[in-house]
Amino acid sequence: MPDLRACAAQLKNDRHVIGYASGNFGKAIFLGSIDVTLLFLLTDIIGMPARAVSLLMLIVFLGDLAFDIGAGVLACHAERRGIGYARLIALCVLPCACAFGALYALPLLQADSFGLIATLLLLLRAAYALIDVPHNSLLARVTVDSHARGRVSGYRTLFSASASIVVATVIAPSMHGPAASAAPVRLAWLGLGAGVLFCATLLAAAWSSRAAGQAGVPAPRQAGASPWWPKPDRLFGAIALVALVTGFAIPMFGKTLLYLCTYVLHDAGFAGRVLLTLALSGIAGATLWIALVRRHDKTTLLALSHGVAATGIVLFACAGERQALLLACAALAGVGLAGVGMLPWGILADIVDFSEFRYRERRETVAFAAILVLLKAGGAAALATIGWTLAQLGYVPGAVQTPAVVLGLKALAFGVPVLGSALAILVLLRLDIGHALHARVRRVNGVRRQACAHQACA
């Protein structure tokens, strides 16, 4: 009972950061739908050739490079002019939701023009960047304690995992529904419904975060002029490499799941069950990592979560076609993937404080924007890699695939994530920025800010 009362009190104290974290539900609906269904939507429903899809993903990749950095600079300027992160999020929610709904209305409109689809995707990514960068940057503002940032990252993951359940049970099954003639209408309604959820949750997150700039210790003015990239140092280089692995290598398993279940396991409907298992185990995993972050450093837990995820994926690859065993392996992978997605954000917020300690200026917006560039550009590069690989191996939608295609799918789905996790573990084992050291750095930063405030008053 005392533990339950303590948990209830903790949740009550964290209610404003839980409101902030709820925005991840809407963002995960957006990203989860695109990650799981975009390639299949373009190749198997709209009928776009695999080579054209690969080129399209390359264009999106290049767009993301510009959009996230541009959004970081714009958010920085908006913050200096008193607009604030929360207001910027609220202003951009509706345009992003409309573009998202339009994407899933393409089959109903019978629109298959490469130029139209490319324009729509670029508009979608640009609008989303203007939401995603300030929302993630708020993590460094809504709380300043390293332990609390671990909890907030966990709350974000819980909301993301809840959204993944919606993707697994509603959106992914719509890709192979039995009523083929109703599929375009169903997809259009799903896009509309997901857009409404996106708007509601992001507006709630913006409202909960509206006073974040005043909630914690006042931060020094962010670097002005043209801060296009964070200060280069070992800490940021390490988290950037981890982000690249997290964006490109780890999601390969989920991005190829519809193809694996359709052409390797010969049961397209099984993909929804695997995705649901990943989502449910992600909730359990996030709860586990939230509990462990009280006593263990986030870098150690992130290395451990990569190990758990890689183990689950290896076992999944070795499980054959036994669905019960496959689901058990997916559950283990989901526990690890929850930590892989959750913990880097809290680590990045701490690195912003370490950078302030070292350079006496704060570049939180461009730091988060730079990591988002690597994550989303890595994700787009992963989609392009899958499309290019399938095209090179002779993939034909709806046909029995050759052994080369099957082997290529297995290499992408299993080999790439495991190698990526191994690389991330090697980097994280050398990254010593635990709770105790962060607390000392934060105290020094606070003393410096107070001294600057006294000098300004004098």
In this structure, what CATH number is given to the domain that contains residue 419? 1.20.1250.20
The mean per-residue pLDDT over the stretch 164-187 comes to 68
**Nearest by Cα to 344 from 385, 422, 295, 289:** 289
In this model, does residue 314 exceed pLDDT 90? yes
Contacts of 422 (CB under 8 A, 6+ apart): 306, 310
In a domain, 49, yes or no: yes
362 bridge partner residues? 222
Using DSSP's 3-state secondary structure scheme, residue 297 falls into coil
In a domain, 8, yes or no: no
Range of the domain at 303: 17-209+230-457
User: Which residue type sits at 334?
Assistant: G
Alpha helix segments (H runs only) across 293-363: 298-318, 323-359
Q: What is the pLDDT of residue 328?
A: 95
Contacts of 382 (CB under 8 A, 6+ apart): 247, 248, 249, 251, 252, 255
Q: What is the pLDDT of residue 307?
A: 96
Q: What is the pLDDT of residue 335?
A: 94
| Rounded-to-10 torsion of CA 357, 362, 368, 374 | -70
In this model, does residue 98 exceed pLDDT 80? yes
Q: What is the pLDDT of residue 3?
A: 57
In a domain, 364, yes or no: yes
Using DSSP's 3-state secondary structure scheme, residue 138 falls into coil
In this model, does residue 215 exceed pLDDT 70? no
Per cent of the chain over pLDDT 90 is 17
**CA of 304: how far to CAs of 240, 329, 353, 429, 432, in Å?**
18, 17, 24, 10, 15
Q: What is the pLDDT of residue 42?
A: 84
User: Could you write out the DSSP letters of every residue in 389-438?
Assistant: HHHHHT--TTSPPPHHHHHHHHIIIIIHHHHHHHHHHHHHTT----HHHH
In a domain, 336, yes or no: yes
Place 456 in a pLDDT band, splitting at 50, 70 and 90.
low
**CA of 360: how far to CAs of 219, 413, 450, in Å?**
11, 43, 13
Place 229 in a pLDDT band, splitting at 50, 70 and 90.
low
**Nearest by Cα to 311 from 289, 294, 328:** 328
**CA of 158: how far to CAs of 25, 260, 324, 335, 426, in Å?**
8, 26, 25, 12, 27
Burial class (CB within 10 angstroms; exposed 0-12, middle 13-18, buried 19+) of 330: buried
The token pair that represents 124 in the structure block: 């979608």
Q: What is the pLDDT of residue 12?
A: 60
In this model, does residue 332 exceed pLDDT 90? yes
**Beta carbons of 362 and 355 less than 8 angstroms apart:** yes
User: Which residue type sits at 360?
Assistant: R
The mean per-residue pLDDT over the stretch 15-30 comes to 86
Place 214 in a pLDDT band, splitting at 50, 70 and 90.
very low
Place 9 in a pLDDT band, splitting at 50, 70 and 90.
low
Per cent of the chain over pLDDT 70 is 89
222 bridge partner residues? 362
Burial class (CB within 10 angstroms; exposed 0-12, middle 13-18, buried 19+) of 310: buried
In a domain, 214, yes or no: no
pTM of the predicted structure, to 2 decimals: 0.74
Q: What is the pLDDT of residue 2?
A: 43
- Greatest mean pLDDT range, 183-187, 328-332, 409-413, 444-448: 328-332
In this model, does residue 233 exceed pLDDT 50? yes
**CA angle at 318 for the pair 317 and 319, rounded to the nearest 5°:** 95
The mean per-residue pLDDT over the stretch 430-439 comes to 83
At 107-156, the pLDDT tens digits run 888 877 888 899 999 999 899 988 988 888 888 788 777 877 888 888 88
In a domain, 223, yes or no: no
**Nearest by Cα to 449 from 346, 353, 368:** 353
Cα–Cα distance, 238 to 233 (Å, whole number) = 9
User: Which residue type sits at 31?
Assistant: L
- What domain count does the chain have? 1
Residue that is written with structure tokens 């962060």 in the block: 438
In a domain, 182, yes or no: yes
Q: What is the pLDDT of residue 216?
A: 41
The mean per-residue pLDDT over the stretch 291-298 comes to 87
**Nearest by Cα to 262 from 249, 252, 272, 250:** 272
The token pair that represents 102 in the structure block: 């339009």
The mean per-residue pLDDT over the stretch 278-285 comes to 88
Alpha helix segments (H runs only) across 216-256: 234-248, 252-255
Question: Around Cβ 240, how many Cβ atoms within 10 Å?
Answer: 20
In a domain, 77, yes or no: yes
In this model, does residue 224 exceed pLDDT 50? no
Place 313 in a pLDDT band, splitting at 50, 70 and 90.
very high
In this model, does residue 6 exceed pLDDT 70? no
